[in-house]
Structure 1
């Protein structure tokens, strides 16, 4: 397809597509002559991913370029490739290791992983942004006087593992490693807010079921 058709099918203006090409977010098309290039379905899929990252995820171009670099790095194994792409997305700051609440949260998360038998997750604690996010959240709970730790989180973690199984099942249905990582990045941008919204809707439903609308 030519640039005009790529623009029409993707809903992205030709000027924006040219900008993405200049910034290296989209691979060049196959050159037909000095002024015309041809694009294919892979360009369309990547363009939709870039658009979601920038317009929905509000990610800066530099971050998008870094994420896409990991998406396209087929020299990495599936776990590291997926992790690198997701870890390049904006994350919470590194928690203060000298803070007593952070130290207590580290112990609680360690106890949680032990209770769950998540030995692989334990190996990623020094580099995983998800681990840091969990530590930061638990430290905040404790700082506010709430005893929220391994015991309370275990049933939630078990539900999240079932969600992760569904996620990986859906990933494995895709034909290529690149598409799987692209889908995971889209999931982080689009599906995680959807799951958060479902969680809140479920809370509203259960609250109304128990207490009515008074």
Structure 2
């Protein structure tokens, strides 16, 4: 397809597509002549991913470029490739080991105990290397400072539910044929599905509250 058709099918303006091309967020088309290039479904798929990151995830262009670098690195195995891409996404506030206080240390202990209880060996091995692990420590420490006795036992049922969600995520990823599509889909799902999960949780809370306490 030509650039105009790519714009029409993706809903992205020509000017924006050209900007993405200049910034390296979209691979150049297959050159037909000095002034004409042809684009295929991989470009359409990549445009959707870039739009998800920039428009929904509010990810800066420089970060999008970094994420895509990992997505396109076919020298990595799928787990490392996907992990690197997801770690490159903006994270929630993290801990600074040099400034760690007693509460943060206690939170870290509960997170590590949770991972041991669940048998999540990969998460345990990565530990402080993972920005997601560090973000969880900060969240638990915040709860503790506010007087909520949040510990591994309280987190475990939620973590098990999230494991079920992760299995669903990867089942969906597996429906795509190529490695690039699998990783792209996983990154897009991380950004696009989280608002859905948040909304579903709140709807479920409303429903359960009504069932328990009525609507009065």
Q: How would you bin the TM-score normalised by the shorter chain?
A: over 0.9
What are the ranges of 5 or more consecutive residues in structure 2 without an aligned counterpart? none
Q: How does 1:58-69 map to 2 (within 5 A)?
A: 58-69=58-69
Aligned to 1:38: 38
Report the Cα distance in structure 2 between the residues aligned to 1:45 and 1:133, rounded to whole angstroms.
Answer: 30
Q: Which moved more, 1:128-137 or 1:67-76?
A: 128-137
Aligned to 1:205: 207
Aligned to 1:171: 173
Question: How many residues get paired?
Answer: 214
Report the Cα distance in structure 2 between the residues aligned to 1:57 and 1:12, rounded to whole angstroms.
Answer: 17
Q: Does 1:196 align with 2:201?
A: no
TM-score (norm 1): 0.96
Q: Does 1:130 align with 2:132?
A: yes
CA contact (8 A) 1:96 1:102 kept: no
Aligned to 2:55: 55
Aligned to 1:118: 120
Report the Cα distance in structure 2 between the residues aligned to 1:138 and 1:63, rounded to whole angstroms.
Answer: 27
Aligned to 2:80: 80
Report the Cα distance in structure 1 between the residues aligned to 2:162 and 2:186, rounded to whole angstroms.
Answer: 16
How far apart are residue 96 of structure 1 and its match? 3.6
List per-residue Cα deviations over 1:34-91 (Å, max 9, x = no partner).
2111111111111111111111111111011000000000111111100100011101
